[in-house]
Amino acid sequence: MKKIKLMDIAHARSGDKGDGSNVGLIAYTDAGYDIIREQVTADRVKQHYHKICLGSVDRYEMPNLKALNFILHDSLGGGGTESIKTDAQGKTHGMGILSMEVEVPDDFAG
Amino acid sequence: MARTIRIGNAQGFWGDSVDEPVRMLELGHVDYITMDYLAELTMSIMQRQKLKDPKRGYAYDFVQFIDRVLPTLMEKGTKVIANAGGVNPESCRDALLEVAKKHGVTGLKIGIVTGDDIMGRLDEFREKGEKLANMDTGEGLFDAERQIMSANVYMPTNGIVEALDQGAQIVVTGRGTDPGLVLGPIMHEFGWNTLDQMALGTVGGHILECGAQCTGGNFTRWQEVPDMTNIGYPICEVSEDGKMVITKHDGTGGLVTVDTVAEQLLYEMGDPENYITPDCVAQFSTIQLSREGKDRVLVSGVKGKDATPFYKVSISYLNGYKAIAALTVSGPDAYAKAQKCAEVLFGRLERAGCVYAEKNVEYLGTGVCHEGIVPTAEDAPEVVMRIGVKDPDKKKVNRFGMEIAPLVTAGPPGITGFAGGRPKASEIVAYWPALIKKELIDVKVDVVEV
């Protein structure tokens, strides 16, 4: 097995949902989707964003788009209009997930 | 061949490109141009404008756009649907009628869709025992005194359909759903009314509603996006037989691929089984995307479920004050000096009797956006300190603004970037999402001809 970053097998986008953000993670291939579905759990995402997401993490599977959708509750410092954080809308959260590492077989080609 | 219409989005939010609506109209054929101007904050700003001047409270940019293109619009017969009405669609229409008069246009029908603004009906609902409970916290709107700024219902799309059925070429609405701007013309043109058809139209609208975010804007692999300067905004091509393709004008920059469209589908997404609108519940878990050609993506398979018995209401209210300041701290030891600045700043404010309900200091350049994911760059050659405070007391928030500049001369060395005067307290407009029974709300449509 070897470790790769999610950016090698997936792309992402995020936006705001009240005082939380959503992070959509989309695999490029079916094999990539299997990897993220197995390894990118709600717990791992919560741990990954431990300084940003102060609440719980919800996770939804969307096999039709080879995608996972995460809701990061309490991650915007009050949300769009109330927050005094620089990223009050979670615009940057999507790029943040792509540095997470996953394990793949040595001969994994994506 | 089945009849096909082309619906473009030329404005993803108030403040989006001012040139794009003209480009959408002139660079190729579209039957409809849709424009989205409203966000929660926008409604409260507009309500305030209307309080000061009863003729304001709508997106004036939209009137300027119509003024710029009206002769072309009339010649081509292109229809325009915009939620530019804000909290005053009537005055927006009056302004448009003035523009039509100025251009000497006749035969133009302008429709407005209203009924969403329930600011004046809140007492009535309170007396009827409506709680307008906060969807996140469960607290009732009337359980405490609140300075409410605006209250608007996300209206169903049938108002837009009705205005188009009556022959309106320009439709101006107040608060509706963003996808409704695209669903409306599809329902009008093809009479679509099954749940699956409405769900497909809603998905098309969701893909288009943020403008260039589905045509290569905000795309992960940005290096691959050709000619981003001239990025084309999206067009939803819909056929009567149910085929839907996302594309853009030929010759424009940007990129429409399964990847760019999929990213936008996930944008601001919640539960993919239940994308709730006033018209239907779309199941994003059923959407299939496939490539149909260069810059053409086919959307299919979309299933819909019955709508809920409620409309969503967006209420805004005042919730204290905030101020934000920024200073640039150069090296050596930029990060350490910036931390010293923060210590000194809040020490001085405390000495003056100012402790805040909330404060936040960010050291931009050290890895703030991805804090905890990337290591903090403690050796950054320079950092921008971004400091914010929140408090119910306006005076205290203004006192914060007075303590920033002294850091340049009475703090660590090599600090700059203070310009534009003392940061002042600004009102915090908070947002209160609630539900209301559909039978309490009436859609009103009014079409006039010049």
Domain residue limits, chain B: 4-116+154-308, 318-432
Q: What is the pLDDT of residues B362-419, one digit of tens each?
A: 999 999 999 999 999 999 999 999 999 999 999 999 999 999 999 999 999 999 988 7
- Tell me yes or no: is domain B318-432 CATH 3.30.70: yes
Taking residues B236-261, report their average pLDDT.
Answer: 98
Query: How large is the average pLDDT for residues A32-42?
Result: 98
Domain coordinates of chain A in residue numbers? 2-104
Within 8 A by CB and 6+ apart from B392, the residues are B320, B321, B357
A84 vs B264, B267, B322: nearest CB: B322
pLDDT for B116 beyond 90: yes
What does the pLDDT read at residue A90?
96
User: Can you give the pLDDT at residue B42?
Assistant: 84
pLDDT(B51) > 90: no
Minimum CA–CA partner of B221 in chain A: A11
Chain A residues with CB inside 8 Å of B431's CB?
Answer: 18, 79-82
- At residue B363, the pLDDT reads 98
Lowest mean pLDDT among A23-32, B45-54, B90-99, B277-286: B45-54
Residues of A in contact with B359 (CB under 8 A): 84
- Collapse the DSSP code of A32 into the 3-class scheme (helix H, G, I; strand E, B; otherwise coil) and give the result: helix
- Grade residue B43 by pLDDT with cuts at 50, 70 and 90: confident
Residue A109, pLDDT score: 80
A18 vs B: CB within 8 A: yes
Looking at residue B39, what is its pLDDT?
A: 79
Render pLDDT for B163-184 as a digit per residue (tens, 0 to 9): 999 999 999 999 999 999 999 9
Give the percent of chain A with pLDDT over 90: 90
Indicate the residue of A17, A26, A79 with minimum beta-carbon distance to B268: A17
Distance (Å, rounded) from C-alpha B379 to C-alpha B383? 10
Comparing B51 with B231, which gets the higher pLDDT?
B231
- pLDDT reported for residue B170: 98
**Cβ–Cβ below 8 Å for B373 and A49:** yes
Q: Mind listing the pLDDT tens digit for each residue in A68-105?
A: 999 999 999 988 789 999 999 999 999 999 999 999 99
Shortest distance between the Cα of B376 and any Cα of chain A, in A, equals: 12
Interface with A, mutate which of B137, B316, B360, B373 (most A CBs under 10 A): B373
In this prediction, residue B420 carries a pLDDT of 78
